[in-house]
Amino acid sequence: MMTSVVESWIESPLKRFVEDAEVDLALLMHPSGQVLAQHGFARSMDVMSACALAAGIYATSAELGRMLEGKPFRGIHQVGTERQLFLAEAHSPRGAYIFVTVFGAESSLGLVRLYFDELVVRISEAAPPEGPAPEPALTEHFERDLNRNLAVLFGRA
Amino acid sequence: MSLVNYATREITCKIVYYGPGRSGKTTNLHYIYSQVPEDRRGNMVSLATQTDRTLFFDFLPLDLGSISGFTTKFQLYTVPGQVYYQTTRRLVLQGADGVVFVADSQARQREENIESFQDLHANLSEQGVDPRSMPLVVQYNKQDLPKDLILPVSELSDAINFRGVSEYSADALHGPGVFETLRGISEIVLRRLSAGGSSGAASSAVSR
């Protein structure tokens, strides 16, 4: 199984969680749905779709919690026939993240919640302070590449 | 919030298609989905009602290919246009890097367009985003309808586009204008990124 991360400091806590809790899939994302780290997905497009849906689930349940209890729900647990899903918010000095994991018979909700709490602590400890703003990523003349790629996408090349 | 992964040289941007109900936001995504090769897009996710009205959002991940040496991916979202889905629109707008406002060119939809455009600005402000800083283009959709049903682009522009952003005439059902609109918003979002407007991650690692 492949683990990939956008920010290197997340890698170690996530891999540890996956090993300890024996889960099949794990995703750490920004509340806007942008993936920060994942384990278990083979295709990046699937990761993006899963993040969009998970961010949606989290946002709606948080709003529902605010409506019903005056505060967002702390986590969500859904049970399928073979696999289960756990989704919760994780905080770090770099801000709030959404964490979602899918597990089967090798694990349990209790184990996942136990190791999720440890994951939150490890992420908080590992998070570096915000650095200086990165250099611009693209060159000034990116339009040529963009136009060529869009033309290919739409069959106009 | 564009995510920039400098180690793997990847950029991911979130584009939201916004506008009043039935203006053609989902139709834009359907057309893009139908035109783009399978290996350059993910599955289109639609959370819709039984009558195909958008309930939460539509989502389409696109791989734009390499731009300035960065693998560039766009995540296209739509919001539900109906007035009572205000909370949902706010949620989907979170972290957007750019917005395509899809206006319905029909004369009878004039007020709905204006209300939706104002709603967009109010929702951005509520999230602490200066609406004037958000990359935005306007698309006047359904320009293929009979002339007696629609307003000319100049009149629509006067009514809606008070910011004077780039605007496109379109027929999203059949395709004209869809590509141009996507290119327009892509350029603005990436230009902002090239000017250093990213709030993305500065480092990365990949392990197997």
Report the distance separating Cα B40 and Cα A129, nearest Å: 36
Cα of A31 to nearest chain B Cα, Å: 8
How big is chain B, counted in residues?
A: 208
Q: Note whether A139 contacts B: Cβ–Cβ < 8 A.
A: yes
Cβ count within 10 A of residue B188: 19
How many domains, in total, are found in chain A?
Answer: 1
Report the distance separating Cα B112 and Cα B123, nearest Å: 16
Please state, for a pLDDT cut of 70, what percent of chain B lies above it. Answer: 92
Nearest to B116 by CA among B42, B49, B19, B46: B19
Tell me how far the alpha carbon of residue A66 is from its chain's centroid. 22
Contacts of B112 (CB under 8 A, 6+ apart): B20, B21, B104
* Residues of chain A numbered 68-127 and touching chain B (CB < 8 Å): none
Residue span of the structural domain in which A67 resides: 3-153
Q: Are A45 and B61 a contacting pair, CB within 8 Å? A: yes
Which of A53-67, A78-92, B42-56 is predicted least confidently?
A: B42-56
B56/A150 CB distance under 8 A: no
Q: Is the predicted pLDDT of residue A1 greater than 90, yes or no?
A: no
> Mean pLDDT across chain B, nearest whole number?
88
CATH of the domain at A81: 3.30.450.30
3-state secondary structure of B63: strand
Q: Which residues does chain B have within 8 Å of residue A129's beta carbon, measured at their own beta carbons?
A: none
Confidence (pLDDT) at B176: 96
